[in-house]
């Protein structure tokens, strides 16, 4: 009786220990994932006309604080990442000195409220593509974080799209009108058919009814009226 109880007791702390360990590692995992975050905004793309000047937005957020945060902007040129600019931010209040590797680029974020956005002057079609905002906080043992922003460079020929939308709208409108016309026609046909049917029924009812009522009424009137007078 005592032997099974002793045998069962020792393994009990085992599963609870692993559960605690699992919860701990999950908590640690979520904590380390939130350590540093690179953010390019809710809309991670921009469509701009060639020749215009655009801002590529990026900010960083860290709940454990930063120390010598390395950041850079990279441009994906035919599959290879080309450095646009980079720098090391000593502290959150520091205005870093940024090295620029690409022409027409200006660092406008100035680390004001963790802002590391850049400005791209007089954009050309070659500037269109994928930009990566990259950050690495030494406080996290060299963990890499990044966010991607898309720049789409377009011609002024937006009018084509407008005429296309008008054409599409007209087609859709026409289709709806045609459908409505068809429905109306269908309903009208059904209405006429039902009317014709009604008329046919009416004709049948009236023709047979006239005979019945005339006969019945004349017969009953003639029969019922005189009887009360007599009695």
Ligand X SMILES: *[C@@H]1O[C@H](CO)[C@@H](O)[C@H](O)[C@H]1NC(C)=O
Q: What residues from 47 to 66 belong to the interface with ligand X (CB under 6 A)?
A: 50-51, 55, 57, 59
Give the span between the Cα atoms of 132 and 148, in whole angstroms: 4
Q: Choose one: 115-123, 167-175, 186-194, 205-213; the region binding ligand X (CB under 6 A).
A: 115-123
Q: For residues 154 and 123, is the Cβ–Cβ distance under 8 A?
A: no
Choose between 68 and 194: whose C-beta lies nearer to ligand X. Answer: 68
Q: At closest approach, how far in Å is the CB of 133 from ligand X?
A: 12
Exactly one of 67, 77, 202, 211 binds ligand X (CB under 6 A); that residue is 77
> Contact between 99 and ligand X (CB under 6 A)?
no
> What are the tokens at 198?
């009604």
Which one, 67 or 77, has the nearer CB to ligand X?
Answer: 77
- 223 interacts with ligand X by CB under 6 A: no
Segment interacting with ligand X (CB under 6 A) among 9-17, 93-101, 114-122, 170-178: 114-122
Nearest to ligand X of 4, 142 (CB atom): 142
Q: Return the residues of window 118-157 that contact ligand X according to CB under 6 A.
A: 121-122, 142-144, 155
Find the part of the chain contacting ligand X (CB under 6 A) among 6-14, 22-30, 108-116, 165-173.
108-116
C-beta neighbour count of 62 within 10 angstroms = 19
21 phi and psi angles, rounded to 5 deg = -60, -40
Binding of ligand X at residue 74 (CB under 6 A)? no
Residues numbered 150 to 169 that lie near ligand X (CB under 6 A) are 155
Residues that bind ligand X (CB under 6 A): 50-51, 55, 57, 59, 77-78, 80, 104, 108-109, 113, 115, 117, 121-122, 142-144, 155
């Amino acid at each position: 009786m005592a032997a099974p109880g002793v045998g069962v007791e020792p393994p009990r702390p085992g599963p609870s220990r692993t559960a605690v360990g699992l919860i701990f590692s999950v908590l640690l995992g979520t904590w380390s994932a939130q350590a540093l975050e690179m953010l390019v905004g809710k809309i991670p793309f921009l469509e701009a006309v060639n020749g215009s000047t655009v801002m590529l937005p990026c900010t960083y957020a860290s709940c454990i604080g930063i120390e010598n945060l390395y950041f850079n902007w990279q441009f994906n040129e035919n599959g290879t990442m080309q450095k646009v600019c980079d720098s090391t931010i000593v502290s959150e209040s520091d205005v870093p000195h940024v090295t620029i590797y690409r022409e027409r680029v200006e660092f406008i974020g100035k680390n004001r409220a963790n802002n590391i956005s850049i400005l791209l002057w007089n954009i050309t079609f070659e500037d269109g593509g994928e930009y990566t905002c990259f950050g690495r906080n030494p406080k996290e043992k060299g963990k890499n974080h990044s966010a991607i922003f898309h720049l789409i460079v377009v011609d002024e020929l937006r009018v084509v799209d407008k005429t296309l939308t008008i054409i599409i709208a007209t087609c859709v409108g026409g289709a709806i009108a045609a459908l409505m016309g068809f429905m109306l026609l269908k309903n009208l046909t059904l209405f006429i058919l039902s009317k014709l049917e009604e008329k046919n029924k009416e004709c049948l009812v009236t023709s047979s009814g006239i005979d019945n009522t005339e006969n019945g009424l004349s017969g009953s009137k003639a029969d019922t009226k005189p009887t009360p007078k007599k009695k």
